[in-house]
Structure 1
């Protein structure tokens, strides 16, 4: 199943409280349950003005539907084609 990187531009994201992040997470999980088992949230990274997420889904349209139902942005949805790390250099 394809893996996607989603950029969510949210000014001040890095200053959101733990309670606010918990609320966002709860809303996301609620929408995921309603969409069914084909879409999975792997993890998210919160920076100053953006939340960048990794999802597994059959297509980008399902990612956008999740964002629409959840009421949060999906400013960029990119399919991850490969993953590299320092271990990749070892061959």
Structure 2
């Protein structure tokens, strides 16, 4: 199944807001968007104090990821990329 990297900007929010959003996202995936798998997310703070997330999803289509984001409401997807593959340092070490 294709994998997608999804970038969102949440602005200036606290941990409680992020917990509520993440719980809602999980509920949507468990009940309505059962073909989507949320693998993990990286949460970063920008120099100006905004919170951004970079999330990895497995989904049959990019469109379905967008539909999930719309159902979640607010904090729409800024950028989405289909992941072409992964590399790790061990891939380049001589064994």
Shorter-chain TM range is 0.7 to 0.9
Matches for 1:1-91 after TM superposition, within 5 Å: 1-12=1-12, 16-17=14-15, 19-48=16-45, 49=50, 50-71=52-73, 72-90=75-93
The CA distance in 1 between the partners of 2:30 and 2:84, in whole Å, is 26
Aligned alpha-carbon RMSD (Å): 1.5
Structure 1: give runs of 5+ residues left out of the alignment: none
Partners of 2:69 and 2:77 within 8 A in 1: yes
Normalized per residue, the structure richer in strand is 2
TM-score, normalised to structure 2, is 0.83
The CA distance in 1 between the partners of 2:38 and 2:67, in whole Å, is 14
CA deviation after TM superposition for structure 1 residue 57, in Å: 0.2
Normalized per residue, the structure richer in helix is 1
CA deviation after TM superposition for structure 1 residue 37, in Å: 2.4
Structure 2: give runs of 5+ residues left out of the alignment: none
TM-score, normalised to structure 1, is 0.86
- For the pair shown, the structure with the greater C-alpha radius of gyration is 2
